[in-house]
Every structure is written in C-alpha cells, then in structure tokens.
Structure 1
C-alpha cells in the first residue's frame, strides 16, 4: 500500500489571487468568515488586493494558514488521509492542524500572534543562496558571528539569516552562483528572533495540544512523532531554529513514503523535494479543482 505524506508551504509561496476559488464554496466561506472574526480583516480581500499587502508578514502567514487549512478540509472530506505530515516554517502549523493537534481557531490565533511578533522583529536580513560549496559555506558561517543557516532546503539551495553586515560578509567570502535577498522584515529562524520567540513561548504554554493522529516531522527535528508535549516543545524552538527541510525530505523514503502531496499555493516544496529525493511521486493541490476525487 502506498504511503503518502502531505506537506505544506510557508512564507514565499503566497500569490495574489490565491484562494479565490474557495470563497463561494461552503467549506471556504465558513472558514473565511470565522477567520475575519479572529483577525479583524478579510483574508480574501488581502489575497485579491493588487496593492500586494499579501507580501507583508503580518498578512502572509494568516492568509496561507487559512487557505491551506480549507484545502486540507476538502481533502479530508473526499476521504483522503495522509500517513505523515510536515510543513515548511509557517506550514508546520497547517501540518499540526491536519494531524488533529489543534483546531482551526487555535491554530489561527497562534499564527496571528506569530506573524505580529515576527513582523515587529526588524533589523535582520535573509538571503537565499543557489549554487555553492556546502563545506565552504558552513565554514564561513562558523567563522562569522550573528549569521546562521536558517533554511536548509535541499543540496543546492539554502537561506542564511542574521544581521545585514554578517550576511553580506558571508556572501563576500564564498563563491555562490546566485544570491537573492529575501523581502522579509527580520532575521527569521535565527537567534536574533530570541525576544519574539520568548514572547511566543509564553502564549504557547497556555494552548492545549492533542496527540497527533499521524506522525509529524518538525522543522527543528525531522524524526516523526505524535506526542503532544514533544510537538509543542519543537514548535517553541521553531522561530529561532533552522528549517531542516533537506533532512525532512530524506526522512520521507526512510518512513516508507513513496508519494508526496503539497497542499497550498505554488509548487516550492515539491520542487525542493525533487532535488533531494527524485524517486518520490510528487503531486500538488493548490486549488479546489486539484483536490482529487475520492
């Protein structure tokens, strides 16, 4: 029997117009209305706005969470079930929702606060690197204070995060085919997020987690677990910890997974996984029309 993993993209996968096909569906309209009560603004309006408010962290994270969870509901309603789940950064919250660790409202309230804290953590910089010598890069990072490997996405793509001076110093000291500064407000997934992470951990403490119905691979630890307390502890480290996506990808076949479905806008994660594990069957569900029949 085929084992299937569901994976969920995070910030960077958003696109103007996403979720537009979900607005008039019963599953979508109810969730969008509930989200507006919690957030105080309309997810569909932000997603359709030509002013590109969607690229602001404050809006990006809640919008991705809402759109992706609606698609999860549609998958579940059609009788589809994952054997394993994982999400990239913000996507981990959707993975936990899909695994039954918390309900829609609980997850959205966490994501709303996470977005507010991360949006206010100014002063840092992130850059995506493509085409580099990993050993040289890791050595240079070790020699440079205030910069870390924030996202280890696949063998040929990573993101570094830190102070602007430190990030520029790393880029100046290594050979890299392409480096792209990211449009983010701070140095996410680095120790520079410690203050925001401490505030968020206080919020997390008061939230009750259920044990997961299927194993979850966390960003900070790619080994599969279902225990509620472990999943919460891992999530509490996520804001300052690295996203170990390359290791998550490598773990999938070790768990017997042969099929991966990326649920959410775009195809960033299936693209990353293909580079790491070329034998996996990769599928995408980014709209209602792409939800497979039961």
Structure 2
C-alpha cells in the first residue's frame, strides 16, 4: 500500500528564479497578487532579482511560503492530500497550510511577522557541525550557558545557536569534520529569541486554526497531531524551540510511509532523508515538469532525487 508524506524545506533552500515556472497559471497569479497586497512587495520580483536580497530573512521566508503553498495547490489537485506532512522550520507553516489548518492569507501574515522579527534580531550566532561526536557535543552544551542545539537535522548534522561567545566555546570544544558559521544575525530556535517570540504570539493568537485534514508532525514535538489547539501551541513554541528533524524522519518509518515528496526548491531534506530513511522512495517537486512526472515516481518504486 502506498503511503505518502510531503515535506517542506525552510530558509536556506531558496533559489533565484523559483516560482517562475508556474507564474502564469491562474491559481498562482491570484496568490502572487494577494501576497503583494499583504507584503507590500512582489514575491516574483524578489525571486527573480539578486541572490543577496532573496537571502535576507525578511524576504526569504515569505517567498518560500508563497512558492511552496502554490506548489501544494498544484500537487493536491494532481494527487490529492498525502497521509502525513512536516516542514523544516519555516516549512512547518506550509505543512499547516497543506493540512488546511489555516488559509493562505492567514499563514502569510504569520510568516510576514515572523520574518520581520527574525530579520531585526541581533546579537546571536548560529553554526552548523557535520560529522561530530554527539556525546561530546551534548556534554559541551550542558556545560555552557547561552547556547543550545537549534536544529537536530540528522545523526551527522546539527546547528547550534546562542551568543557569539557561547557558540565559539562549543566550536572550540567539539571536534567535527566540518564547522560552518551561518549567515544570520540572530540566535534562531533558541531562548534568546524570547522577546521576538512574545511579539509573534500576539499575532498568532489572532489567527483561527482548524483541525488538520491530515496529521502534521511539528518541529518541537515530532509526533503526528490533528487538533487545532495542540498544533497552535506547538507552533507557538517553534521560534525558541529546537527543530527536531532527526526524530521527525524516524516518524516516517514508524508510520510506514512509502513515498516522500519534498515540495519546494533544493534537495536539502532529501539529502537528510536519503541517509535516514533508506527504504522510502524520495522525489522533489518545484517545477511543472516534475509535477507531470509523478506517475512515473509512484509506478517505478525507485528512490529518486531529481
């Protein structure tokens, strides 16, 4: 029996030109127009502009939400809804839209506020560690204030977040094959985002949620949930909580998912899934051509990464 999950990438997966492939479709045109009214700027213009502007948090997050939401509409029309959805950080908002927890406009208003708050945050630092000793990292984090595990992406890849001084202490203590500083101003997914989170919650409180049509796995609580109050509470914790993607991936196997579609630009989530969920068929969708070849994906039963 085929069981499908959709996953949605977050900040860092954006690429110049995304969304252009379906900009002339009536449904997409409508959403781009609505987005421009809400945001005060054109998603298509930003997506087809220069890379540095698109990479700014203020623009990246709304652009990804709009483009991925349009892909959700196209995909749902072609295949119907999946059996499970999950998104990485910003991608969780698209997962909630896909599960019909809120409408497109409500989700975009939340993402707009989130992006503004995160873009204006300062004084923090984030660093990615690849191929490290997890027990050594856990011990170092336990001994160091003002730094946390922000993204637990896989067994061999994590992101830490905190003050610059605290992040440096961890980097100096823990041996890793590769350590990379992230180009962000704030300590995202850490308690240092508390003030921004408090401002965001005032906007979140004003948005009505519905029970999910398909179960959603949240970043801060990686178990499937349907209930509107639970999903809203989980989202309320996301800005200061860790992205527990490693545990989310294990849920796909537990739920006996056979196919996973990464809905959005890039291959970041498939790269992580390929190493963790080896028995699950993988596919990415961010163009009309990829949408039109989904039948081949389901019929062949092969692990695909195109």
TM-score by structure 1 length? 0.98
Map of 2:103 onto structure 1: 103
Structure 2 match to 1:17:
17
- SS of 2:258's equivalent in the other structure is strand
Q: Quote the residue 2:243 is aligned against.
A: 243
CA distance in 2, matches of 1:24, 1:134: 48
Structure 2 matches for 1:181-220, cutoff 5 A? Answer: 181-220=181-220
Does the aligned pair in 2 maintain the 1:71–1:288 contact within 8 Å? no
Q: How many residues align?
A: 294
Quote the offset at 1:121 in angstroms: 1.2
Q: Which runs of 4+ in 1 moved over 4 A?
A: none
Instruction: Indicate conservation of the 8 Å contact 1:99/1:214, yes or no.
Output: yes
**What is the match of residue 125 of structure 2?**
125
**Structure 2 CA distance, aligned partners of 1:185 and 1:108?**
22
The CA distance in 1 between the partners of 2:138 and 2:113, in whole Å, is 32
Q: d(CA) in 1 for partners of 2:189 and 2:173?
A: 22
What does residue 298 of structure 2 align with?
A: none
State whether residues 261 and 285 of structure 2, in contact with CA within 8 Å, keep that contact through their aligned partners in structure 1.
yes
Match of residue 252 from structure 1: 252
Instruction: Tell me how far 1:52 sits from its aligned partner.
Output: 2.4
State the partner residue of 2:32: 32
Within 1, Cα distance between the matches of 2:174 and 2:9? 29
What secondary structure does 1:128 align onto?
strand
Contact kept, 8 Å, 1:57 with 1:185, in 2: the verdict is no
8 Å Cα contact 1:189/1:240 also seen in 2 = yes
Q: TM-score, normalised by structure 2?
A: 0.94
Is it true that 1:65 corresponds to 2:65 in the alignment?
yes
Once the two structures are superposed, the pairs formed by residues 256-271 of structure 1 within 5 Å of their partners are: 256-271=256-271
Deviation at 1:51, TM superposition (A): 5.4
Residue pairs, 1:144-155, within 5 angstroms: 144-155=144-155
Q: Tell me the residue number matched to 1:45.
A: 45
- What SS does the corresponding residue of 1:135 show, helix, strand or coil? helix
**What is the deviation of 1:258?**
1.5
| Alignment correspondent of 2:94 | 94
Shift of 1:27: 2.0
- Deviation by residue 1:197-228 (Cα, 9 ceiling, x = unmatched): 01111111111100000000000001101000
**Secondary structure in 2 matching 1:290:** helix
In terms of mean alpha carbon deviation, does 134-143 or 46-55 score higher?
Answer: 46-55
Give 1:171's aligned residue: 171
Kindly indicate whether residue 138 of structure 2 is the aligned counterpart of residue 141 of structure 1.
no
- 5+ unaligned residues in a row in structure 2: which ranges? 296-306
1:14 CA displacement: 0.5
Paired with 1:14 and 1:162, the residues of 2 have a C-alpha distance of 24
2:263–2:284: 8 Å Cα contact kept in structure 1? Answer: yes
Compute the displacement of 1:291 (Å): 1.0
Q: 2:156 — aligned with what?
A: 156
